[in-house]
Structure 1
Amino acid sequence: MSSPGSASASAPPLTPPPLPAAVLWDMDGTLVDTEGYWMDAETALVESFGGTWTHEQALTLVGSGLDRSGEILQDAGVRMAVPDIVAHLTRVVAARLSTEGNPFRPGAVELLQDLRAAGVRTALVTMSLRDMALTVAGQMGFDAFDLVVAGDDVTRPKPFPDPYLQACTALGVDPDDAVAIEDSPTGVRAAAAAGVTTIGVPLMVPLDGAGAHVLWPTLAGRTTDDLSAAHAARRTSRHEVHA
């Protein structure tokens, strides 16, 4: 039998890292795999005006604000005003969501449910229009979000930090205490610029070098504990740099 204080004595249990004050979710490509829906709508619209729209061109719009996307589609030959382009694309994608439901990315729903069970506040921070964001949130099947910040709620879209800063202000949390989950370089840059711990989960485009603090290949199997650990590691590293 080991004597008290011997090397084989049981170590005290490790204290788990604190929960983040809030977790901020991008929508298209992060929560739901709708990027293909947008690309299909863009392609059909450009072709209706006699133009061509390649997959490579479509990738350049991933994560961008809808007004900027509309301007690029005008350059591709769409002879419509930007607000009309945005409204058209939104109607087409919303119609697919209403008939086909939310095409959730693996692990997203389970992680959201785990966060809610742990009492962590959550927000949807998307450059899609509010009506579409509310449609997706309403099809979750549970009370998934405390807040929705949409593209028509902000003056400056991603990659500006404004959407994430606005979400933190509305939730009453310090950006340093929050975590964001993003799938695009544009979104990653926005969240990181806001001072939020940023977890990149790539879908259509790689995120290497975009500025994410952590890269996960998937959300499948991830839990609140994983988010807390990533958040704690980033904060520790940041504070050591500034010490």
Structure 2
Amino acid sequence: MIEALIFDMDGVLIDSMHLHAMAWKTAFMEEGISIDERDIFALEGENDTGIVKRVLVINGNNSIDMETILTSVPAKKHQLFDRNSVTLFDGVDDILRQIKGKFKLAVVSGSDRKIVEMMMEKYFPGIFDVVVSGDDTEYGKPAPDPYNKAVEMLGISKDNCIVVENATLGVESANNAGIFTVGLPTYLTRKELEHADIVLHDHEELFRLIELLMRMFPGT
């Protein structure tokens, strides 16, 4: 029986990864490191510390002080999110309101807590039962910790959960936690999400899947 649906935030619920990428590109550029937007898309789901470590390894740069970047990035992100409108993917608000009360709902995001709370309060007040941010576990995605924490907070079996992820590291994290995972390509290709249990084409297909789950488990 499916009792809970667990969603990544950026790229699944809200179209916001361009803001994250802009903040990271600026922060690394200030330290003399050039990165591409897709570099950040590929690392989506990692917490801030994990992203810095991976970028420095990829660039073979051990001379940059991680703390300098980690200190500057949150402020840059917060400014961008404050000044720019974030768009919900079409249909997301409607489907969440349809399933509220029928399933337990959780968000597991690699974004810092301030941004996650800002998005929850602005766009999804009262919708989610559990919210896990990138600040809430020592190890972010692809480690299983974020999804394990969400399941623990939900208080149900992993076998009764489904994760919806749009990022390679997010899929890996859910896999490592042993939770059935739906891949949703928004910024990456279907091929890049091939390790999900199923890979959809778009949000419309996701909504049809959720509607099917509502018919299959009407008493949840």
Q: Normalising by structure 1, what TM-score?
A: 0.76
2:5, 2:98 → 1: CA distance? 12
2:31, 2:54 → 1: CA distance? 14
Which residue in 2 is equivalent to 1:226? 212
Instruction: Describe the SS at the equivalent of 1:69.
Output: helix
Query: Compared with structure 1, are the counterparts of its residues 133 and 81 closer, same or farther at alpha carbon in structure 2 (3 Å cutoff)?
Result: farther
Quick check: 1:106 aligned with 2:106? no
Quick check: 1:164 aligned with 2:147? yes
Amino acid across the alignment from 1:202: P
Instruction: Describe the SS at the equivalent of 1:151.
Output: coil
> 1:23 deviation in Å?
0.9
Render the CA deviation track for 1:141-170: whole Å, top value 9, x for unaligned: 531211111111112211121211111111
Instruction: Describe the SS at the equivalent of 1:23.
Output: strand
Amino acid across the alignment from 1:204: Y
Which residue in 2 is equivalent to 1:115? 99
Quick check: 1:52 aligned with 2:38? no
Which residue in 2 is equivalent to 1:188? 171
Amino acid across the alignment from 1:69: I
Map 1:132-143; keep pairs closer than 5 Å: 132-143=115-126
Aligned residues: 212
> 1:228 deviation in Å?
5.1
> 1:40 deviation in Å?
1.2
Which residue in 2 is equivalent to 1:146? 129
Larger Rg: 1
> 1:22 deviation in Å?
1.0
1:149, 1:44 → 2: CA distance? 26
> 1:56 deviation in Å?
4.4
Render the CA deviation track for 1:173-217: whole Å, top value 9, x for unaligned: 101101111001110111122222211111222243642122222
Paired residues of 2:183 and 2:199 also in contact (CA < 8 A): yes
Which residue in 2 is equivalent to 1:25? 7
Paired residues of 2:42 and 2:168 also in contact (CA < 8 A): no
For structure 2, the 5+ residue unaligned runs are: none
Query: Compared with structure 1, are the counterparts of its residues 207 and 184 closer, same or farther at alpha carbon in structure 2 (3 Å cutoff)?
Result: farther
Amino acid across the alignment from 2:15: D
Query: Compared with structure 1, are the counterparts of its residues 22 and 87 closer, same or farther at alpha carbon in structure 2 (3 Å cutoff)?
Result: farther
Paired residues of 2:116 and 2:133 also in contact (CA < 8 A): yes
Amino acid across the alignment from 2:48: L
Which residue in 2 is equivalent to 1:216? 200
Q: Normalising by structure 2, what TM-score?
A: 0.83
Amino acid across the alignment from 1:226: L
Give structure 1 regions of 4+ aligned residues with deviation exceeding 6 angstroms. Answer: none
Which residue in 1 is equivalent to 2:24? 42
Paired residues of 1:188 and 1:200 also in contact (CA < 8 A): yes
Render the CA deviation track for 1:93-140: whole Å, top value 9, x for unaligned: 222222334322233222211211x43111111111111111111111
2:87, 2:65 → 1: CA distance? 30
Identity among equivalent positions (%) equals 22
Aligned-CA RMSD value: 2.6
> 1:90 deviation in Å?
2.4
Instruction: Describe the SS at the equivalent of 1:180.
Output: strand
Moved more, 49-58 or 152-161: 49-58
Which residue in 2 is equivalent to 1:66? 48
